[in-house]
Amino acid sequence: MTLLAKYYVPGLAVEDHSIDVPLDWSACQPGQDVAGETIKLFYRVVAAPEHVHDDLPLLVFLQGGPGDSGPRPLSPASDGWIEEAIKHFRVILPDQRGTGRSSRVDTHVMKTMDGAQGAAYLKHFLADSIVRDFEHLRLSEFGGARWVTLGQSYGGFLTLTYLSLFPRGVAASFTTGGIPHVPADATEVYRHTFPRMVAKTKQFYERYPQDVERMASVADKLEAGDIALPNGDPLTVQRLQCLGSDFGMKPSFERVHWILDDAFLDGDGSADVDARLSDEFLAKVMDATSSRPLYWPLQEFIYANGELDEPIRWAAQRVRDDTAEFDTGRRPLMMTGECVFPWMFEQESALRPFKPAMDALMEDTHFGTIYDVEQLARNEVPLQAAVYFDDMYVDSGMQLDTLSRVGNSHYWTTNEFEHDGLHGCVVFKHIFTEALNRGDLEELF
């Protein structure tokens, strides 16, 4: 292993590592010599200090996203599942390619490419390449030992890719809020999720009825004149609506409520047609709606499986155009969820360099294979899923439909948690105990 650093944070022994992986896996196989242009894959190994010398089974965390790096724990309890996992496993926390310390992709990289080059480059950062990175890591750095996977959100999508392509590398899998619909179809996903965005917005206004007027007053001001965020990006009604992208988490209603509480500068801060928007409010909106570099560019392409019948062509925008509730002039103003829209790549400075690549990708139909329906049907790897009944981002009905066609799969459905339930102390312990009691982890414990 290439050890970069070894240290402790409270309650955790940590090792930092990196290896080289091919940018393009088409000419290479995981576990073999790497050829062609390479990028760095960074990963951490964390363990409980009392187990640092113990030969525990391995658990690799498949981070949500797309385009998000692995956790940076402050302590075991700062990310609740870690506190339980380190009692049983050595935990591997990779930064998926293009994120964190794994040859990060951002504006500096995309500015060097035209549309065709950028589109071809970004296709190397989807599930088929991510999973090959992980399988190469398992074979080359961990002696080929079968490991357990834990996939949160998009990590559940990666789980089904892993079980499609390299099931022999996995001893057991856990997913939380992240079983994709197979067959994959971005338009179908948004037809299910836009009604839930309406429902979530209405729940927000029911809890904080004063925010109906506050949100409407802010939107009216944005439509009446040019207002810029601190970084110079325009604040439009569309971007204001993106505050709802957090509504599938807890306590998102409170976070948005307190952002709106600081909206107005004058007097006692009550909504008023003559009140100005405060600098503090504008800064908070900018932070809450700013894009992580790969999160929005890859958002709709996580549904692209192999050769598509037709291009994706901004699926969320097409569904939104058919959903009158989200018109920017409607009141009360509805808020959007986890959706990418073409205007983002014009209005947001951090996304403008991605626009030529996005224009090309949205017309593309050639993508890597991420799901093998026949292999999933005969799957023998124990799969334990936590399905959140009210999940705003990943429809629970679609999750259960997929699981009904995946061999050796089990699920726990609950409405106690939102999409981020894994980060508390209950969810992972529950699904781990279910798998343990069923005998699914017999080869490890």
pLDDT tens digits, 125-170? 999 999 999 999 999 999 999 999 999 999 999 999 999 999 999 9
Together in a domain, 54 and 178: yes
> Where does a domain end: 361, 393, 421?
361
* Angle between helical axes of 210-224 and 252-261 (0-180°, round to 10): 60
Is the pLDDT assigned to residue 193 strictly greater than 80? yes
**CA–CA dist 405, 142 (Å, integer):** 31
> Does some domain include residue 342?
yes
Give the tens place of pLDDT for each residue, 327-350: 999 999 999 999 999 999 999 999
pTM: 0.97
Same domain, 53 and 158: yes
94-134 pLDDT tens trace: 999 999 999 999 999 999 999 999 999 999 999 999 999 99
Closest CA to 96 of 121, 132, 54: 132
Q: For residue 292, what pLDDT band results from cuts at 50, 70 and 90? A: confident
Of the candidates 55, 33, 64, 59, the residue with the CA atom closest to the CA atom of residue 45: 59
Confidence category of residue 1, pLDDT binned at 50, 70, 90: low
What does the pLDDT read at residue 298?
Answer: 97
Average pLDDT over residues 235-263: 96
Are the CB atoms for 80 and 422 separated by under 8 Å?
yes
Q: What is the mean pLDDT of residues 222-233?
A: 94
**How far is it, in rounded angstroms, from Cα 414 to Cα 427?**
10
Residue 280 pLDDT > 70, yes or no? yes
Task: State how far the alpha carbon of 307 is from the alpha carbons of 154, 186, 303, 366, 370, in Å.
Answer: 21, 14, 12, 5, 11
For residue 311, what pLDDT is reported? 98
For residue 225, the model assigns a pLDDT of 82
Residues 80 and 226 in one domain: no
Point out the domain boundary residue: 361, 386, 409.
361
- At residue 274, the pLDDT reads 82
Rounded CA separation 435/161 (Å):
21
Domain co-membership, 72 together with 145: yes
Cα dist. 270→24, 55, 282, 327 in Å?
A: 55, 60, 16, 25
List the one residue out of 383, 374, 347 whose CA is nearest residue 155.
383
> What is the average pLDDT across 277-304?
95
Q: Name residues whose C-beta falls within 8 Å of residue 35's C-beta, 6 or more positions apart in sequence.
A: 22, 27, 28
- Are 270 and 309 within one domain? yes
Residue 263 contacts residue 281 (beta carbons within 8 Å): yes
How far apart are the C-alpha atoms of 389 and 400, rounded to whole Å? 10
Residues 193 and 326 in one domain: yes
Average pLDDT, integer, range 6-16 = 98
Say whether pLDDT at 352 is over 90.
yes
State the average pLDDT for the chain. 96
Instruction: For residue 8, give its domain range.
Output: 3-184+370-438
Q: What is the mean pLDDT of residues 253-279?
A: 92
pLDDT computed for residue 293 by the predictor: 87
Angle at 308 between CA 304 and CA 312, to 5 degrees: 60
Whole-number percent of the chain with pLDDT over 70: 100
